[in-house]
Structure 1
Amino acid sequence: MNSTTRFKLSAMMFLEFFIWGAWFVTLGAFLNNNLKATNSEIGSVFSTQSWGAIIAPFIIGLIADRYFNAERILGVLHIIGAILMYQMYSAPDVSVFYPYVLAYMILFMPTLALVNSVSFNQMKDAEKEFANIRVFGTIGWIIAGLLISFAFHWDSPEGIQAGLLKSTFLMAGIASLVLGLFSFTLPATPPKVAKDEKIKVGDILGLDALKLLKDKNFAVFFISSILICIPLAFYYQNAGLFLADIKVSNPTGKMAIGQVSEALFLLAIPVFFSKYGFKKTIIVGMLAWAVRYVLFAYGNAGNLSFMLIIGIALHGVCYDFFFVSGQIYTNSKAGEKFKSAAQGIITLATYGVGMLIGFKVAGLITDMYKTGDVTDWKMVWIIPAGIAAAVFLLFALLFNDKTKSEIAAKAV
């Protein structure tokens, strides 16, 4: 890969995840403070990510893979996304905001696959080259959080009171417009499927991979993956709102610690796999969810703020040791024929069905423990900690896959 192509792909990844991190982290606090949304309404807004994940395969399978170059679709989707971002910035209440955010997420979620497709198309050895490109996405997310907290102070108590959180949508919209226009300069990534070739809905959704559920251990992993998304949804929906509500300074910047942790622990997965195997690696990830929520439940913005920082820093263990490990495990069990289908069905199950249930539950629970403007955050975090602990026990007792050496070899 030449230096010009490497720069373009790195910039693409940076902007892709800068856009997402520029508004999604502070979304809960924005909805609560600017639009006065209930927690159930906040849950519905966050669930648009799940609807986007469910619809995304159809956009990729029926359009991107058949008719147009991936980089051109990426450009069009981000230009439309910039317009929708401005509409979200201008929305006076959640009823007006919701249709725009739903439309945006339906268009944005496919771009996550498109940036990967554009990248892979330029690589001779994706296993060695992709990580060096993808890391710029993590950097983009981190930079967005640092700008919000330390450069613009939009998430400070004064900034929130002044309604400045809505400015995140302008920043994301500008970045989306830049990426939309920049996408047309990216290397050509033509369709992989002939226009007249028949594509079945089952192929798009990867339904053939459901045959893997005949394996008892994979079925346990599959169900656990859906269930663990319930506590995961609590983090995405409530963490930013929680930190802002208890007056933690620079909350968005501090949450960027989670992305730094994610990048670092990604490097530790091969070591854990080779030494401890898949089961022990993934149960550490599950247990970390329970631990982090206990830390959130009992920490505060004062003398126990270190508990909150540790909880945020555990994001790398929580996410990488479960979700990334799960992707590697799925890849090893699927075989050559069902690899893509298996990854698709896991993504649909987790970010689609699992998160959809999770955001609904998170909204109901948070509303249940909110009286007026006061939220009992201790209970809001104890409940997902209990759910994560229950999933941990379910997986630890029922999963008994012995294929340690095979999976470890694929991870290294």
Structure 2
Amino acid sequence: MTASIRIKLSIMMFLEFFIWGAWFVTLGTYLLRNLGASGTQVGVAFLTQSIGAIVAPFIIGLIADRFFSAQKILGVLHLAGALLLWRASSAPDFGSFYPNILTYMVLYMPTLALVNSISFRQMQNPQKEFAPIRVLGTLGWIVAGLTIGWLNWEQTNSLQATFLMAAGASALLGVFSFTLPATPPVKQGAQTSIGDLLGLDAIGLLRNRSYLIFFLASIAICIPLAFYYGFTNPFLNEVGMKSAAGVQSLGQVSELLFMLAIPLFFSKLGVKKMLAIGMAAWVLRYVFFAYGNGENNYWMLIAGIVLHGVCYDFFFVTGQIYTDNLAGERFKSSAQGFITLATYGVGMLIGTLLSGRIFDAYQTTPTTHDWRMIWLIPAGIAVAVLLAFLAFFRDQKEPQAAPAEALQDPATPLSQAI
């Protein structure tokens, strides 16, 4: 891979995740403050991510894999996304805001698979070449959060600007995408079934009792995960944290550092211990949030944010590796699609609906909430999932591939790369 292509792919990754981080982190705060939304409506807004994750395989499998080059579809989706984000920024109420953001997420979620596929198709050795490029995406998310904090948009009630910033970056990536290396479709003329699109040909993995336990635990742990995505930023702003979005970027820094350490932990601890530590970190994080505040226990808020690296990497990244090891060569990609559909589709769907209702139930005044109870409920759910996992999961001691082998094969169709 030439230096020119490497630079282009790095810019693509940076912008891809800068766009998402520019508005998604502060979405709950924006809806509550600017549009007067209820907690249930905030949950419904975050539910668009799950809807996008469910719809994405159809868009990719039916269009990108068979008819058009990936970089051209990426460009069109981001140009359309720029318009939708701009429209969302001027919506006067939740009723007019929601259709724009729903349509946007249906278009954005497929781009996560597209940027990966464009990258993989240019690489001779993805295991070594992908990580240095993908890390630019995490950096893009961090820069977006730091920018919001530096410009004081949360304190000055200017979060409408986050959508305009994301729209500008989306337009830039849309135009830039047409300069990316050509990535033609890989299944021209091929027939694609619904099972192929959703990864359902990997459903046979559930005959493995341990994998079934892991699969159910993955869905269940995404329920408390939805609380974090939807209500952490409103919580931090309500308890008085300054530049909350910028401080939240510490979670991505933690994610990056623990990601680099995954191979060492994986070889030392094994699958069951790593998955259990990941779930235990969710419990600890929510306990920190429940008892933290902007004064004496401020350190608890910071600790809860920094735990994101353990929460995400030890459970979700380890789970992807575990899935990859069990799937076998034939079903590696479809198995990843299957687990993603279950977690970000089904699990997050349940979690976003539940978290919004709980947020509304523990509203004490028009501007304050009983955050201790709001956070102890997902902590309790995470404890239940952890205990059930420890009781029933048995590590079958399958041959373990190196974590890098969980990366997507560059020859795999986009519909299976989600």
Q: TM-score range by the shorter chain?
A: over 0.9
Alpha-carbon distance in 1 for matches of 2:323, 2:347 = 17
Deviation at 1:409, TM superposition (A): 4.3
* Pair 1:140–1:409, CA change in 2 (3 A): closer
- AA at the equivalent of 1:94: F
Report if the CA contact (8 A) 1:17-1:137 is conserved.
Answer: yes
Paired residue for 1:232? 225
Paired residue for 1:128? 128
Alpha-carbon distance in 2 for matches of 1:103, 1:52 = 8
* Pair 1:408–1:241, CA change in 2 (3 A): same
Paired residue for 1:367? 360
Paired residue for 1:319? 312
**Number of equivalenced pairs:** 404
Alpha-carbon distance in 1 for matches of 2:314, 2:401 = 13
Paired residue for 2:138? 138
Report if the CA contact (8 A) 1:269-1:411 is conserved.
Answer: no
Report if the CA contact (8 A) 1:273-1:411 is conserved.
Answer: no
Q: How does 1:15-94 map to 2 (within 5 A)?
A: 15-94=15-94
- AA at the equivalent of 2:176: F
TM norm structure 2:
0.95
Unpaired stretches in structure 1, ≥5 consecutive residues: none
Alpha-carbon distance in 1 for matches of 2:241, 2:146 = 15
- AA at the equivalent of 1:188: A
Report if the CA contact (8 A) 2:82-2:168 is conserved.
Answer: yes
Paired residue for 2:414? none
Could you list the per-position Cα deviations for residues 236-266 of structure 1 after superposition, in whole angstroms to 9, with x for gaps in the alignment?
A: 0000110011110110000000000000001
Q: How does 1:108-123 map to 2 (within 5 A)?
A: 108-123=108-123
Alpha-carbon distance in 1 for matches of 2:178, 2:381 = 45
Report if the CA contact (8 A) 1:332-1:410 is conserved.
Answer: no
Alpha-carbon distance in 1 for matches of 2:74, 2:402 = 35
- AA at the equivalent of 1:201: I
Unpaired stretches in structure 2, ≥5 consecutive residues: 406-418
Deviation at 1:372, TM superposition (A): 3.1
- AA at the equivalent of 1:182: F
Alpha-carbon distance in 1 for matches of 2:403, 2:134 = 20
Alpha-carbon distance in 2 for matches of 1:201, 1:45 = 27
Alpha-carbon distance in 1 for matches of 2:404, 2:170 = 34
Paired residue for 1:329? 322
Alpha-carbon distance in 1 for matches of 2:279, 2:350 = 18
CA RMSD of the aligned region, Å? 1.0
Paired residue for 2:182? 188
- AA at the equivalent of 1:178: L
Report if the CA contact (8 A) 2:321-2:403 is conserved.
Answer: yes
Moved more, 265-274 or 135-144: 265-274
SS of equivalent residue, structure 1 residue 185? coil
Deviation at 1:276, TM superposition (A): 1.3
Could you list the per-position Cα deviations for residues 124-165 of structure 1 after superposition, in whole angstroms to 9, with x for gaps in the alignment?
A: 000111000000000000000011001x11012xx12xxx11
- AA at the equivalent of 1:220: I
Counterpart selection for 2:379 from 379, 385, 388: 385
Q: How does 1:332-351 map to 2 (within 5 A)?
A: 332-351=325-344
| Aligned residues with identical type, % of pairs | 59
- AA at the equivalent of 1:89: S
Q: How does 1:262-301 map to 2 (within 5 A)?
A: 262-301=255-294
Paired residue for 1:153? 152
- AA at the equivalent of 1:380: I
SS of equivalent residue, structure 2 residue 13? helix
Alpha-carbon distance in 1 for matches of 2:335, 2:75 = 28
Report if the CA contact (8 A) 2:45-2:98 is conserved.
Answer: yes
Report if the CA contact (8 A) 1:53-1:352 is conserved.
Answer: yes
Paired residue for 2:159? 165
- AA at the equivalent of 2:78: H
- AA at the equivalent of 1:396: L
